[in-house]
Amino acid sequence: MRRPLPRLYVVATKVLEARLEGKEQQQSFLFRQDKARDLRRIKRLVCLAQENFDQLTESLERAGFSFEVCDKKLAAIVAADVAFSSPEYLPKSSNHKVKEILRYQETLRSLAHAAKIYPAAQIPRIRYAILNRLKISQSTLGKMLNKLGFIEKKFEAPPGTTPDAVIESYWNHLDNLRASEYSWDIHFPDDVLVFSSKGDIHMKKLVLEWKQLLMFNKSVMAPVQALDPKNGDTVLDTCAAPGNKSVLAAQSCSGLVSCERNNKRFKLLAENLELSGVTGKRRCEVIHSDFLKIDNSDPRLIKVTKALVDPSCSGGGDFDHTLDQSRVEKLANLQTMILKKVLRLPSLRTVVYSTCSSQTRENEGVVTEVLEWADGQPEENGQWVLEKALPNLPFRGDEDFFPGVGDKCLFFNHERSRTSVQFVAKFVRKLRGETRMEIKKKCRLETKKKLKRLKQKRRKHQKEKLSKEANNKRSDHGRRSIK
Ligand SMILES: C[S@@+](CC[C@H](N)C(=O)[O-])C[C@H]1O[C@@H](n2cnc3c(N)ncnc32)[C@H](O)[C@@H]1O
């Protein structure tokens, strides 16, 4: 019987093919592979296979490998994995093509040695998952995981040590998680769980079918936590597909407006919002449009109080060395335009800007440009300022090159936080003549009023329901007595 190829290799080969033929952006291709969760690993594999394509295929050929077994692109992907990853992280596969390439392990490894590319700590040993409160509570999830054989392993920080030592010891704790163990994350302890990548949590029904656990990277949580959506807030996600941040924001806000311009990605967004339980539980508007073309006086945008701006970016990550700087510049201009448009929305109080790019031009660069622009804007609706995003987190932006900006922003990547790349900046609107305390008080009052209105509405609804039931009973009784 023919054994299937590991999905990792199938997806990576498709991406490599698209890249080599210059057909489309690796990033957009990857996004459409919505079941392929290990995007970081795929990206790394594709970059290594592309950069070392000739060396990998030529050494296989010289060592006697026949390309009749499999085509060169697939061979390059599997060979890159064999050459540059730790053996313990290679997918266990009985596929004959993989087995054949594995026979040349020694040759491939010596190639990696010569190229000085080592299987560093780059490959995640951990798998993040995020609790979906729209589907399950924290305690029920704990019980379910227990039933599935997963045991919580608590992290205890060594007493009296420095923050750096605590983090080191935490990484150690995660590295030593067994396949059946999990831990709540140290930075987002109420939402993010960490599993060992040796386990099979991602194959369980609570992930695949019920969406009670969302297999998003931990760094996706950062922009949403910085935005801090609350009951009473309507959150706008200007560039929403596939919807990861929209789904997370919907956990705690009252209304959601998600906008996406791309046709296929719009469908994926709508599907993900539905499957994750957002549609139906929250006031939810999904807009298929270029956000730049929507009028700021559009009724759908009027109630918005907080916004996420997570536009297309170069998605440079850590491994892509083929970035075209003119493309980065174009993207930075687009990001700036979207941000400026959002900041003009009159009802907005907080805006979080995020990218998955490691290019400072698209990150601190865009923020600096937008702040300078905001400084020159009329103040009738208040002044936008940069606020320190999640001040307790250590992963700060580039303060050396962007003084006054970098430290207020967050920057996650594998080396610092063991996560995917994520940049986060938080803008808040300071109303004219008001102190921050006054603004907070005003927001609290607004929320109270909204809650009061909501309670009144609920009471009215309850009353109507009761009187309807009473009427039904009466007419039932009448019918019976006629019989
Ligand atoms: C980085 S992705 C967003 C990821 C999303 N926030 C999440 O967490 O799942 C950027 C998305 O923005 C969309 N986009 C880019 N420019 C846009 C615009 N002007 N209006 C609406 N959507 C846009 C792209 O099609 C793409 O789907």
Please write the tens of the pLDDT for every residue from 60-72. Answer: 999 899 998 889 9
pLDDT digits (tens, 9 = 90+) for 262-281: 999 999 999 999 999 999 87
Model pLDDT, residue 121: 45
Task: Pick from 261, 266, 287, 412 the residue to mutate for probing ligand 1's pocket: most ligand atoms within 8 Å of its CB.
Answer: 261
8 A C-beta contact, residue 193 and residue 130: yes
Q: Is residue 121 part of a domain?
A: no
- Where in the sequence is the domain holding 97, given as residue range(s)? 7-114
pLDDT tens digit sequence for 216-231: 999 999 999 999 999 9
Distance 135 CA to ligand 1 centre (A): 25
Number of domains in the chain: 4
In the structure, what pLDDT confidence band is assigned to residue 118 with cuts at 50, 70 and 90?
A: low
230 and 208 in a common domain: no
Distance CA 422, CA 426 (A): 13
Helix axis angle, 53-62 relative to 105-114, nearest 10°? Answer: 140
Structural domain includes residue 85: yes
Q: Is 262 in the pocket of ligand 1 (CB under 6 A)?
A: yes
CA 325 to chain centre: 25
- Which residues contribute to the annotated binding site for S-adenosyl-L-methionine? 239-245, 260, 290, 310
List, for residues 428-471, the tens digit of each pLDDT value: 999 866 555 565 566 677 667 767 887 888 888 888 888 888 88
262, 333: one domain: yes
431: which DSSP letter?
P
**Are residues 81 and 39 part of one domain?**
yes
155 domain-assigned: yes
**Maximum mean pLDDT: which of 81-95, 174-188, 406-420, 466-480:** 174-188
Q: Is the pLDDT of residue 323 over 70?
A: no
pLDDT recorded at residue 17:
86
34 pLDDT band (50/70/90 cuts)? very low
Average pLDDT in the chain: 87
Q: CATH number, domain at 136?
A: 3.30.70.1170
Residue 390 φ then ψ, to 5°? 35, 70
SS3 content of the chain, % helix, strand, coil (to 5): 45, 15, 40
Assess whether 405 and 446 both reside in one domain.
Answer: no
Identify the weakest region by mean pLDDT among 109-118, 142-151, 216-225.
Answer: 109-118
Query: Does 47 have pLDDT greater than 90?
Result: no
Residues 6 or more apart from 480 whose CB is under 8 A from it?
Answer: none
Same domain, 291 and 149: no
Is 1 domain-assigned? no
Answer yes or no: do 359 and 412 share one domain.
yes
Ligand 1 pocket, 362 CB below 6 A? no
What distance in Å separates the CA atoms of residue 55 and residue 49, rounded to the nearest whole number?
9
- Tell me the mean pLDDT in the region 158-162: 84
- Could you tell me if residue 483 is inside a domain? yes
Q: How far apart are the C-alpha atoms of 224 and 103, rounded to whole Å?
A: 46
Q: Are residues 385 and 339 in the same domain?
A: yes
- The confidence band for 33, taking pLDDT boundaries of 50, 70 and 90, is low
Q: Is the pLDDT of residue 320 over 90?
A: no
pLDDT computed for residue 229 by the predictor:
97
- What share of the chain in percent tops pLDDT 70? 87
Tell me how far apart the alpha carbons of residues 348 and 374 are, in angstroms, rounded to a whole number: 14
Ligand 1 centroid to residue 259 C-alpha, Å: 8
Only one residue has tokens 């499999």, namely: 70
pTM of the model: 0.71
Is residue 89 predicted with pLDDT exceeding 90? no
239 lines ligand 1 (CB under 6 A): yes
Is there a domain that residue 17 lies in? yes
Assess whether the C-beta atom of 290 lies below 6 angstroms from ligand 1.
Answer: yes
Under the banding of pLDDT at 50, 70 and 90, the label for residue 2 is confident
Task: Looking at the structure, tell me whether residues 290 and 390 fall in a common domain.
Answer: yes
- Does 326 share its domain with 369? yes
Q: What is the DSSP string of 118-166?
A: ---TTS-SEEEEEE-TTT--HHHHHHHHHHTT-EE----PPTT--HHHH
Distance, CA 294 to ligand 1 centroid (Å)?
15
How is residue 220 written in tokens? 């996706």
Q: End of a domain among 94, 114, 134?
A: 114
CB 432 within 8 A of CB 382: yes
Please list the active-site residues. Answer: 356
Determine the pLDDT at residue 479.
59
CB atoms within 10 A of CB 394: 12
246-261 confidence digits (pLDDT tens):
999 999 999 999 999 9
Nearest partner of 229 among 239, 221, 217, 218, judged by Cα: 221
Query: Ligand 1 pocket: which of 218, 220, 239 to mutate (most atoms <8 Å of CB)?
Result: 239
Ligand 1 contacts CB of residue 292 (under 6 A): yes
Burial class (CB in 10 A: 0-12, 13-18, 19+), 137: exposed
418 CB less than 6 Å from ligand 1?
A: no
Q: What 3-state class would DSSP assign to 255?
A: strand
**Is 70 exceeded by the pLDDT of residue 49?**
yes
Residues 410 and 450 in one domain: no
DSSP state of 287: E
Is residue 119, in this structure, part of any structural domain at all? no
265 ligand 1 Cβ < 6 A: yes
* Atom 6 (ligand 1) nearest CA: 240
- 359 inside domain: yes
Instruction: Report the pLDDT value the prediction gives residue 38, as an integer from 0 to 100.
Output: 60
Which of these three, 192, 214, 236, is where a domain ends? Answer: 214
Ligand 1 mean position to 311 CA, how many Å? 5
